[in-house]
Amino acid sequence: MPWPPGTPTRWQRPTWWHHRSTRTAWPRCWRRGLRHSGRPERRRYPYLDIPPGPTGRPRPIALSHRGFAPDGGENTLAAFERSVALGFAYLEIDVRASLDGVVMVFHDEHLDRVTGAHGPIAGRTAEELRELRVQGHGSIPTLEEVLVRWPELRLNIDVKSDDCIRPVAELVDRLEAHDRVLLASFSDRRRRRVLRLLARPAASSAGMLVNALAKLLAPVGLVGVVARRAGVQALQVPETYRGIRVVTRRFVAACHAGGLQVHVWTINNREDMDRLLDLGVDGLVSDAADVLAACLDARSSWPPAATPPDPRLP
């Protein structure tokens, strides 16, 4: 087929165009996705299964963000225990690696904000990190501690750094926790690397790039294609991003049509929770665990407490 008028000649075209893989890879992958009706492969991920409520409708997934820490002791065993006592079955946590390669539950790259110590978390061994206190309320736990202490909990694990990619995968394999975790990261590359190292598949949610692409293609019904190519089962997004409204009824419907769940973070206001649930979102991430529990209880979507609180914890 002749080139349209005004198209650069062969010698004016950029060098990358002449590489055959560049010209064929994208059309081929999009065609392959469209042949599957735009829906991701139907593998079952137990992490995303949640029993219906008394009304028969699916319960939303309620994720306690870094545990319930009104006193500021985020990502500590005490914060997680409070969430469990309220009835939460899902926690959203962050992980980084210590100097000796132990997976620690900690959000920031540096210790300063919540421990009063200085320097990066990667600059200290796990033993040294355990001596610190998070806002004076508890030590920094390891991911293994959390997985072992609460075998009934499901963990949304945000992999924060490249140095814990392999340790996270090895730990999930060793504890056979594949059905209990969802692996997430703002970096899609990092998320994919963890998944490739696992002995068995685990659920995952998209990073920023795939989220943006899904939002862009939602109006034309191609969210399922994006999900299948990215290998994700959920989009975890803010309600708005830089003044752009991400979560709308149309966006949620497009994601559901593509086989994706929509989880929204971080929602702490009761009115916002009700409004988003009315839009049909599948999950909410919240710092205000007590408010979210009350909201879902009013909708007959809240289970009883999963386990009694551990008396050994403050």
Q: Which two tokens stand for residue 99?
A: 């100097």
pLDDT for the residue numbered 6? 52
- Residue 51 pLDDT: 78
Mean pLDDT, rounded, for 280-301: 97
User: What per-residue confidence (pLDDT) applies to 54?
Assistant: 72
pLDDT of residue 305: 38
- Poorest-pLDDT segment among 11-20, 183-192, 235-244, 249-258: 11-20
The reported pLDDT for the residue numbered 137 is 86
Instruction: Provide the pLDDT for residue 56.
Output: 74
What is the structure's pLDDT at 1? 46
Does residue 311 carry a pLDDT above 70?
no
The Cα–Cα gap between 180 and 177 comes to 5
Query: Would the pLDDT of 37 be above 90?
Result: no
Lowest mean pLDDT among 31-35, 44-48, 223-227, 285-289: 31-35
Q: Can you say whether residue 114 is alpha, beta or left, with left for phi > 0 and alpha for psi between -120 and 50 degrees?
A: alpha
d(CA 97, CA 93): 14
Residue 193, pLDDT score: 98
Question: Max alpha carbon distance in the chain (Å)?
Answer: 77
**What is the per-residue pLDDT for 313?**
46
Tens digit of pLDDT for each residue in 97-120?
999 999 999 999 999 999 999 999
The average pLDDT across 81-85 equals: 97
Greater pLDDT, 139 or 43 = 139
Would you put residue 167 in left (φ > 0), alpha (ψ -120 to 50) or beta?
alpha
Confidence of residue 10 (pLDDT cuts 50, 70, 90): very low
Please spell the DSSP secondary structure of 273-302, one letter per residue.
HHHHHHHT-SEEEES-HHHHHHHHHHTT--
Tens digit of each residue's pLDDT (9 = 90 or more) over 124-183: 999 999 999 999 889 999 999 999 999 999 999 999 999 999 999 999 999 999 999 999
What is the pTM (predicted TM-score) of this model?
A: 0.84
Residue 111 three-state SS: coil
pLDDT tens, 213-242? 999 999 999 999 999 999 999 999 999 999
60-204 CATH fold: TIM Barrel (3.20.20)
Active site amino acids = 65, 107
85-104 mean pLDDT: 98
Going from N- to C-terminal start, the domains of the chain cover: 60-204
Determine contact, residues 67/83, Cβ cutoff 8 Å: yes
Could you give the percent of the chain with pLDDT greater than 70?
Answer: 83
User: What's the average model confidence in pLDDT over 3-16?
Assistant: 45
